[in-house]
């Protein structure tokens, strides 16, 4: 078990090295950072001098090597745009992204799973059909469009709608930023203030919608599958309550694929939060990365990409470990089953 974890962590180093290598080989094609770092009247000599100081004329392998040598010493360089250490910038942004992603993942799971169970059990119900139809929207609309639609409804049109109706049907919600945050050590949290919580609503719903519908559809099809099996029929024959059959036996057996997908999706929630962050001006890592791309801020881009590589490996590792918890057969494979054979 420990060997397994260590092996995976070693693999993550390889993944990060590969990501870094590919990233640096691509940086030649994203444009020239110098022009974004100086004013128009800066002379050609001064521009060239700056380029040399930053080592931008070196071949990408040399630049990558230099980045790695500094990175293992904990120095990820200085952001061209912010003129501050990249590690400091990322540490500042991690809380915003993680809070948003976790809330979105939480929403997706705790709304998606019950909806999936419900639609699985009442296949032809009106509400099930409604859920399925609405979920098509979640699956087919791109995230940024959903975000902008939500901003339109809850930011721009809400006043007019409420004024026309004479009562508050659509609440006015914050459409950008994180609201007030509270500093807990180095972690800044929006969970502890009213404006912070309100600001979370639109971006987290935007980010959760796709995952929610995905999970719902997955749970539904798994439920349909499981409900047909013999052991469910036996359970019913034994006179167990519907509740015990549906949740104790059926749902539990659908969980392995659900955990796999949710875990992988958590990775993509964090990685793809950048689109939601951009739309809602959410000051997380994704926004930092997108700005870094427009300004060709190489140290930030490199660090972000490698960090994301690490996140993905880590999440996959956690998912693999969760299998052991959920599926007794896996534990049995190693310990007991071997003895029986």
Partner 1 sequence: MFLQEGWTMKRGLVAAAMAVGLLSAGALPGADKAEAKPFKWAFQGDVQTLDPHGLFETFTLGFQLNFYEGLVSRAADLELEPGLAVSWENVEPTVWRFKLRQGVTFHNGNSFNADDVIFSVDRINTEGSDMKVIAGLIKEAVKVDDYTVDLVTDQPNPILPLQLEIFMIMDKEWSEEHSTTQATNVKGDDQGNYANLNANGTGPFMVVERQPDVRTVLKPNPNWWGEAKSNITEATFTPIGQDATRVAALISGDVDMAYPVPVQDWKRLEDASGVSPLTGAEARTIFLGFDQDRDELLYSNIKGKNPFKDQRVREAFYQAIDMEAIKAKIMRGASTPSNLMIAPQVNGFNAALNDRLPYDVEKAKALLTEAGYPDGFEVTMDCPNDRYVNDERICQAVASMLARIGVKVDLLAQTKSKYFAKVLAQNGYDTSFFLLGWTPSTFDAHNVIYSLMTCRVDGKGAFNLGGYCNERVTELSDLIQVETDQEKRQALIDEANKIHSDEIGHIPLHQQPLSWGVSDGVTVAQRADNQFHLRHVTVK
**Under the rule (CB under 8 A), what is the footprint of partner 1?**
30-48, 50-51, 53-54, 78, 80-85, 88, 148, 151-152, 155-156, 158-159, 172, 174-178, 278-281, 283, 287-288, 290-291, 294-296
Nearest approach in angstroms of CB 4 to partner 1 is 40
Sign, CA torsion 67/73/76/77: negative
Beta carbon nearer to partner 1, 177 or 320:
177
Distance CA 340, CA 289 (A): 53
Whole-number Cα distances in Å, 285 to 18, 33, 57, 62, 304? 21, 20, 28, 27, 8
Contacts of 2 (CB under 8 A, 6+ apart): none
Nearest approach in angstroms of CB 48 to partner 1 is 7
> Hey, what are 57's tokens?
């004329």
Nearest approach in angstroms of CB 147 to partner 1 is 8
Beta carbon nearer to partner 1, 88 or 225:
88
Nearest approach in angstroms of CB 128 to partner 1 is 34
Beta carbon nearer to partner 1, 110 or 186:
186
> Hey, what are 290's tokens?
């997108």
Nearest approach in angstroms of CB 317 to partner 1 is 31
Query: In what helix (H) or strand (E) does residue 188 lie, and over which residues does it extend?
Result: strand 187-189
Surface-to-core class of residue 254, CB atoms within 10 Å of its CB (0-12 exposed, 13-18 middle, 19+ buried) = buried
Beta carbon nearer to partner 1, 66 or 236:
66
Nearest approach in angstroms of CB 22 to partner 1 is 19
Nearest approach in angstroms of CB 178 to partner 1 is 7
CB 292 within 8 A of CB 81: yes
Beta carbon nearer to partner 1, 37 or 214:
37
Name the β-bridge partners of 185.
none
Contacts of 56 (CB under 8 A, 6+ apart): 32, 33, 34, 63
Beta carbon nearer to partner 1, 215 or 274:
274
């Amino acid at each position: 078990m420990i060997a397994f974890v260590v092996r995976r962590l070693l693999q993550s180093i390889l993944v990060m090295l590969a990501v870094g290598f590919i990233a640096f080989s691509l940086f030649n094609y994203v444009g020239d950072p110098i022009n974004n770092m100086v004013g128009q009247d800066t002379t050609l000599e001064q521009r060239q001098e700056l380029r040399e100081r930053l080592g931008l004329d070196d071949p990408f392998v040399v630049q990558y090597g230099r980045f790695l040598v500094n990175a293992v010493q904990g120095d990820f360089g200085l952001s061209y745009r912010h003129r501050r250490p990249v590690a400091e910038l990322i540490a500042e942004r991690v809380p915003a992204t993680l809070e948003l992603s976790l809330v979105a993942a939480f929403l997706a799971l705790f709304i998606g799973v019950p909806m999936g169970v419900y639609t699985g059990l009442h296949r032809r119900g009106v509400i099930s059909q409604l859920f399925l139809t609405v979920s098509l929207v979640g699956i087919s609309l791109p995230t940024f469009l959903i975000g902008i639609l939500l901003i339109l409804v809850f930011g721009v049109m809400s006043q007019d709608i409420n004024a026309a109706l004479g009562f508050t049907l659509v609440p006015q919600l914050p459409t950008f930023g994180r609201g007030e945050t509270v500093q807990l050590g180095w972690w800044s949290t929006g969970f502890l203030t009213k404006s912070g919580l309100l600001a979370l609503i639109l971006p987290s719903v935007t980010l959760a919608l796709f995952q929610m519908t995905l999970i719902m559809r997955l749970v539904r099809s798994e439920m349909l599958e499981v409900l047909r099996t013999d052991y469910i029929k036996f359970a019913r024959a034994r006179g167990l309550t519907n509740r015990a059959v549906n949740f104790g036996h059926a749902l539990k057996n659908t969980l392995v694929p659900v955990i796999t997908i949710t875990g992988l999706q958590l990775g993509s929630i964090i990685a793809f939060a950048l689109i939601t962050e951009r739309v809602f001006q959410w000051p997380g890592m994704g926004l930092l990365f997108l700005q870094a791309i427009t300004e060709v801020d190489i140290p930030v881009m490199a660090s972000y990409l490698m960090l994301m590589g690490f996140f993905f490996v880590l999440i996959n590792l956690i998912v693999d470990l969760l299998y052991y918890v959920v599926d007794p057969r896996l534990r049995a494979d190693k310990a007991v089953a071997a003895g029986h054979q």
